[in-house]
Amino acid sequence: MLFISFNRGVPILVLLFLLYAALPELGLSLSAISAAILAFSINTSAYVAEVNRSALSAVSKGQHEAAASLGLNKWQAMRYVVLPQATRIALPPLSNVFLSLVKSTSIASTIALPELMYQARIIGGREFNYFTVLVVAALIYWGACSLLSWLQRYLEKRYNRYLES
């Protein structure tokens, strides 16, 4: 609970600087890519855990009881009854978490990680044309997010196919 609260309450930029700039003072040095991967993983895992917790708790207790009345043990009930319903509930917020993650990677440039925005700033400075380069970077982010949104819609259709329309 403390892990989730801390990581949802601390900006990703602060976590990124803690891992990349402050950790070496304690004798543990991480490369820029390692610090970025770790920071984004820790931050995103807190949100994913909270989404999954809420999705599992959204499945009514009656579903658990119905599975038990059919003779399913706890693991079978979870696999065949609870998880399919929780997955359907969790898909939209999980997709939002992953879309946010894709867009948040741009702040990794603050620790000199050569990701998309870092490269865009270098090219824009070299070509003296920031506008075009930043528009291209925006289009790349938009394309990646559009692909994730398409995947979300596909998965939602797949998991909602048994619901009444």
Q: What is the mean pLDDT of the chain?
A: 91
Say which CATH architecture domain 2-160 belongs to.
Orthogonal Bundle (1.10)
Query: Which pLDDT band, with edges at 50, 70 and 90, does 164 fall under?
Result: low
- The residue assigned the tokens 């259709």 is 157
pLDDT class of 108 with cuts at 50, 70, 90:
confident
pLDDT reading at 165 higher than 70: no
Report residue 116's pLDDT band, with 50, 70 and 90 as the boundaries: confident
What confidence tier does 109 reach under pLDDT thresholds 50, 70, 90? confident
Q: CA-CA distance, 89 to 74, in Å (whole number)?
A: 20
pLDDT tier at 159 (50, 70, 90 boundaries)?
A: confident
Mean pLDDT of the 76-97 span: 94
Residue 72: what pLDDT?
94
